[in-house]
């Protein structure tokens, strides 16, 4: 797999052009610092002198890491928050000192890759390096926005979200996860973790119209968005997927192990191309939750 440096879309390893934006992979070159000959940017070592690009003593890796972060923070602020506030976020990035912290994170990541190379006795493929870099950048973007930008975020995001990327457990505690990310207690809709709080009619309509879990699937959170509180419109989070039914829309399902595209629109989301909306605040918290689940199930 090759990651497009322009739009970050995964492509087949032998792709000549990006399937999303058309970027020309053949135009990607890097100069070997030892022999000065041009090399493919995916190369992890020089084809002429065998110089390892991971062993560079300059800050090329850290600068790439920083550049990727700045690109992602701009994109996330424009999509998730207020595009007019982008300068405030960037100013805070420097005045808070997080820019120095981020560079140190980049150095630590480079050292980890170097140690893995030493342990394996070979150079890690460029695609794997870039994937790890992207994953780390996404975590750092979340950390910066939630921890440092609380005063300028128009929608409050719980600090408790941050503990999940740092713990790296093998098994998810879904009740705590959903509560921390979605904060259902402050939602303006009927949302419960205990299904006994719903009537038999609500459960029947939900399981008839949109909620179709497998026999071994556990339902952890459910919301009724219907005006008459009859369960015909709503959503449910299980340990495997998000199910929902919006007014005048087809039923939707998003499996956590198959999250390919999350698009943030003005008042709604497109989840793998499917319309989803509860409220602006709940939508944003859902986006952060699904991004985390995508990283977790991609491990």
- pLDDT band per the 50, 70, 90 thresholds, residue 132: confident
Give the Cα separation of 222 and 191 in Å (integer): 6
Decide which of 219 and 20 is more confident: 219
Section 186-209 average pLDDT = 89
Return left, alpha or beta for 121; rule: phi > 0 is left, psi -120 to 50 is alpha, else beta.
left
- Mean of the pLDDT values across residues 206-218? 96
Q: What are 136-149's pLDDT values in tens digits?
A: 999 999 999 999 99
Q: Is the pLDDT of residue 20 over 90?
A: no
CB atoms under 10 Å from CB of 287, counted, come to: 20
Q: Is the confidence at residue 57, as pLDDT, over 50? A: no
3-state secondary structure of 191: strand
| Mean pLDDT, rounded, of the chain | 84
| 42 CA to centre of own chain | 23
Burial 242-270 (b: 16+ CB within 10 A, else e): bbbbbeeeeebbbebeebeebeeeeeebe
Residue 27: band (very low, low, confident or very high) from pLDDT cuts 50, 70, 90: low
pLDDT band at 74 (very low <50, low <70, confident <90, very high): very high
195 closest CA partner among 218, 225, 226, 228: 218
- pLDDT for 56 equals 47
Write down the residue that tokens 């459960």 correspond to.
Answer: 203
Cα→Cα distances 247→28, 226, 244, 252, Å: 47, 8, 10, 12
Structure tokens given for 110: 């480079």
pLDDT at 11 over 90: no
Please give the Cα distance from 250 to 281 (Å, whole number): 23
Could you give phi then psi for residue 295, rounded to 5 degrees? -65, -40
Q: What is the pLDDT of residue 171?
A: 82
The domains of the chain are located at 2-148, 172-297
Place of tokens 């032998």: 14
More confident residue, 1 or 188: 188
Mutual angle of helices 60-80 and 98-120, in 10-degree steps:
120
Q: Give the span between the Cα atoms of 282 and 91, in whole angstroms.
A: 27
Specify the higher pLDDT residue, 4 or 131.
Answer: 131
The pLDDT assigned to 165 comes to 79
If one compares 270 and 42, the residue with the highest pLDDT of the two is 270
């Amino acid at each position: 797999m090759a990651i497009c440096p322009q739009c970050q879309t995964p492509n087949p390893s032998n792709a000549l052009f990006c399937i999303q934006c058309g970027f020309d992979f053949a135009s990607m070159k890097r100069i070997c610092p030892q022999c000065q000959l041009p090399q493919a940017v995916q190369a992890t070592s020089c084809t002429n002198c065998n110089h390892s690009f991971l062993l560079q003593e300059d800050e090329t890796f850290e600068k790439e890491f920083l550049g990727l972060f700045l690109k992602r923070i701009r994109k996330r602020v424009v999509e998730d928050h207020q595009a007019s506030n982008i300068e405030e976020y960037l100013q805070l990035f420097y005045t808070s000192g997080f820019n120095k912290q981020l560079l140190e994170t980049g150095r630590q990541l480079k050292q980890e890759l170097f140690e893995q190379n030493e342990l394996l006795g070979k150079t890690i493929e460029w695609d794997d390096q870039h994937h790890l870099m992207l994953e780390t950048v996404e975590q750092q973007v979340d950390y910066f926005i939630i921890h440092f930008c609380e005063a300028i975020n128009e929608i409050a995001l719980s600090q408790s979200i941050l503990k999940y990327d740092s713990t790296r457990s093998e098994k998810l505690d879904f009740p705590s996860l959903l509560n921390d990310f979605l904060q259902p207690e402050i939602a303006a809709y009927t949302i419960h973790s205990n299904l006994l709080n719903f009537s038999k009619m609500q459960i029947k309509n939900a399981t008839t119209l949109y909620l179709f879990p497998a026999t071994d699937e556990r339902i952890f959170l459910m919301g009724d968005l219907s005006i008459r509180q009859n369960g015909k419109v709503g959503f449910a989070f299980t340990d495997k997927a998000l199910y929902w039914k919006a007014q005048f829309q087809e039923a939707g399902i998003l499996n956590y192990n198959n999250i390919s595209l999350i698009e943030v629109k003005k008042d709604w989301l497109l989840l793998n191309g499917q319309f989803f909306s509860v409220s602006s605040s709940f939508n944003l918290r859902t986006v952060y939750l699904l991004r985390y689940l995508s990283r977790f199930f991609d491990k």
